[in-house]
Structure 1
Amino acid sequence: MRNAAITGWGMYVPEQILTNAELEQMVETSDEWIVSRTGIRERRLAAPADTTLAMSARASRQAIEVAGIDPSEIDLIVLATVTPDKFMPSTSSLLQTELGAHRAAAFDLAAACSGFVYALAVGSQFIQTGVHKTVLVVGTDALTRFIDFTDRGTCILFGDGSGAVVLQASDAEEGVLSNVLGSDGRGAQHLYIDGFDSNGLYGRTISSNGNGTGNAAVDELQRTYMKMNGNEVYRFSVRVMGETAIEAVNRAGLRLGDIDWLIPHQANLRIIDAAAKRLDLPRDRVWVNLDRYGNTSAASVPICLAEAADSGKLQPGMNLVLVAFGAGLSWASSVVRWGATGVRGKGTERDG
């Protein structure tokens, strides 16, 4: 069977760090409160130069370097993001030019925090069906640009970054073994960011009497921020993370005892621990970095994967479960058999 193997990986996080101590000066919270409820200690904030395109390019170049390929060999770019630099053209099209991958088809995919695992599933299927040989899969978000830093429920959670992998056709017993994707739009109101209205205005408008007229000459255009019902999202995520991970393991024809590593979306340490318990995995087999980066949305899983690969703890033949959840409400999981042996160059910067 033709498999889609991960042969390259990369990541980028911005230089600016926002600590819990700094958040204490901005909103009614404390380091103890944030850590006890989320596990997050600090997060990275995108600078003006850290556009979605720029961050994607940094992570992608690393992945291409590790894979040992030329950008001209890339057949397809799938970029998962809900924070594109432009509404059109797609950020992936801009990335194609930035990388010099002029042969590649390119499109963006929006599935919020589930986005990278969705994109991995799509990219792997293009390879498994024989349509393409080499696919670049990227997850990038800069959600702090849509965060209200007076809203304690959201401002403590999110950070910015990018992660990428190169998928290549392989006849070996490695690569993406199974995928599970799901969505339940009945929960859409629990996590969202408003977009364009029927008048083409972004966000919401208010007039002097408090009622929006839709006329930008009369109304003041207000910035749009993320809205989240934290309790509902938490209950949903605790249930679905374990369920979808187990389903992916079953689809791969494996048992829970065959799983070597859990690479989970980094939203909340309690959610991660609940998923690990369902998979019967000890904490030292679960990759966790939300204490340093917070929730980086679509970048979360590939950043974890890149760190795990760089650490040398992922050995050929190991079975990994990648799992995420996000707005939609959505969820996704993949089982990957690791086969890569590449390393990132010593000159590659992780941030800055």
Structure 2
Amino acid sequence: MTGRDVHILSAASALPGPAVDNAALARRFGMDPLWEQWVEAFIGTRSRHLALDLESGRLTDTLADLAERAGRRALEAAGLAPSDVDAVVLGTATPDRLMPATVNVVADRLGIDQVRSFQLQSGCSGAVQALDVARQILLSGDGRRVLVLGGDVIARFYDLAVDLKRTAPAELVNYVLFGDAAGAAVLSTEPAPGSARVRALFTRLVGLGREPGAVLEWYSPSDLAGGELAPPASEDYKAIEEQVPALAEEVLKELLDTAGWRPEDVDLLLPPQLSGRMTGVISKRLALPTAEDVSVVAEAGNSGNAIVLLQLERALAGLLRPGRRAVGISIESSKWIKSGFALEGN
């Protein structure tokens, strides 16, 4: 029955400034051409968008700036006004402040009021968690339309004075792996032309006994007065390379079982978007025989909680036609959350 279904009506994105390629990063940080070749070969990300001016160190866009633009575009694409929204949910690892919550700042800018709002603090799977919360709101019957937001501004953690030649790999990788962006999607109990029906969606914490694969710190005045601090951002890239593909396989199996699909029924794959190289490795391992990859990471970088919504935007822009099927997979590596969704074009 249609009233028990949830549909994604639209998705949109916002990227800060022009793309920054690997050559530009190499020049800014005084790295030689061999470093640029290393990034291409071992990371596989060609460019990213940064909400930071690399010369001055000035932040050009906040998360609220990007999420506002993405949210406005998603509402316009769905043909909706702010007053049509019954709830707003944001997934992010990098809110602009601890308070006020960035989701509420964005809602205010969009003219949304008198609704429920939620901000989920999470790594890459936060956008899928936000989709899950929105879906549960709609399935409960307490609302007809929910605006989902996801994004991160990771460049704010860059130390532009750092000597990358002396930087440990766990920190160095952050300067090439990530990009900044925000995305948005509108979910509804009512389908529309070009929308997609949610056939399955889940998120699950699987971090018991696992060491964090990624860490973002925040500091208080007492921390700053206490001597040497941990790096603001670090990655255990080896642990991520080892665990994400296996978790992605688990997610795919559960999605197919829930939707009642066979591997050959899947037309589009929205794979985990850690880096260009890792995305290729994971897609090959998932071995969906007829699925086309929907990938944005090589051009936009790993933009955290925006990446799934950027993939959705591309899928809904003509790829996920009526009757076609898509699966999306996202793995959060800070304390390990596996998540995914299955969609069918309306």
**Deviating runs (4+, > 6 A) in structure 1?**
none
Partner-residue secondary structure (3-state), 1:166: strand
| Partner residue, 2:36 | 31
- The whole-number CA distance in structure 1 between the counterparts of 2:297 and 2:214 is 20
Shift of 1:185: 4.8
| 1:169 and 2:189 aligned | yes
Is the Cα contact below 8 Å between 1:182 and 1:330 reproduced in 2?
A: yes
- The whole-number CA distance in structure 2 between the counterparts of 1:274 and 1:333 is 18
C-alpha spacing 1:201/1:241, structure 2 compared with 1 (3 Å): farther
Partner-residue secondary structure (3-state), 1:130: coil
Shift of 1:182: 2.1
Between the aligned residues of both structures, percent identity stands at 29
| 1:255 and 2:262 aligned | yes
Cα deviation digits, residues 104-147 of structure 1 (max 9, x gap): 21111122111111111111121122122101111110112124
Q: Which amino acid aligns with 2:199?
A: L
Cα deviation digits, residues 299-344 of structure 1 (max 9, x gap): 011112112323x2221222111111122222211111222xxxxx
Return 276-285 or 261-270, whichever deviates more: 276-285
| 1:324 and 2:330 aligned | yes
| 1:192 and 2:199 aligned | no
- The whole-number CA distance in structure 2 between the counterparts of 1:265 and 1:59 is 21
Is the Cα contact below 8 Å between 1:242 and 1:274 reproduced in 2?
A: no
Which of 201, 207, 222 is residue 179 of structure 1 equivalent to?
Answer: 201
- The whole-number CA distance in structure 2 between the counterparts of 1:27 and 1:243 is 42
- The whole-number CA distance in structure 1 between the counterparts of 2:282 and 2:321 is 22
C-alpha spacing 1:154/1:282, structure 2 compared with 1 (3 Å): farther
Q: Where does structure 1 lack aligned partners over 5 or more consecutive residues?
A: 207-211, 213-218, 340-352
| Partner residue, 2:178 | 158
- The whole-number CA distance in structure 2 between the counterparts of 1:174 and 1:295 is 25
Is the Cα contact below 8 Å between 1:80 and 1:298 reproduced in 2?
A: yes
- The whole-number CA distance in structure 1 between the counterparts of 2:30 and 2:197 is 44
Where do residues 2-151 of structure 1 align in structure 2 (5 Å cutoff)? 2-25=4-27, 26=29, 28=31, 30-47=35-52, 48-148=59-159, 150=164, 151=171
C-alpha spacing 1:323/1:72, structure 2 compared with 1 (3 Å): same
Is the Cα contact below 8 Å between 1:38 and 1:267 reproduced in 2?
A: no
| 1:205 and 2:211 aligned | no
Return 2-11 or 101-110, whichever deviates more: 101-110
Return 255-264 or 153-162, whichever deviates more: 255-264
Partner-residue secondary structure (3-state), 1:240: helix
Partner-residue secondary structure (3-state), 1:106: strand
Is the Cα contact below 8 Å between 2:320 and 2:344 reproduced in 1?
A: no
- The whole-number CA distance in structure 2 between the counterparts of 1:284 and 1:181 is 23
Q: Which amino acid aligns with 1:155?
A: Y
Aligned-residue CA RMSD in angstroms?
2.4
Equivalenced residues, count? 322
| 1:306 and 2:308 aligned | no
| 1:272 and 2:291 aligned | no
Q: Which amino acid aligns with 1:205?
A: L
C-alpha spacing 1:170/1:230, structure 2 compared with 1 (3 Å): same
C-alpha spacing 1:111/1:245, structure 2 compared with 1 (3 Å): farther
Partner-residue secondary structure (3-state), 1:333: strand
Is the Cα contact below 8 Å between 1:319 and 1:338 reproduced in 2?
A: yes
| 1:294 and 2:296 aligned | no
- The whole-number CA distance in structure 2 between the counterparts of 1:27 and 1:328 is 34
Q: TM-score normalized by structure 1?
A: 0.84
Q: Which amino acid aligns with 1:229?
A: D
- The whole-number CA distance in structure 2 between the counterparts of 1:38 and 1:282 is 25
Q: Which amino acid aligns with 2:35?
A: S
C-alpha spacing 1:19/1:159, structure 2 compared with 1 (3 Å): same
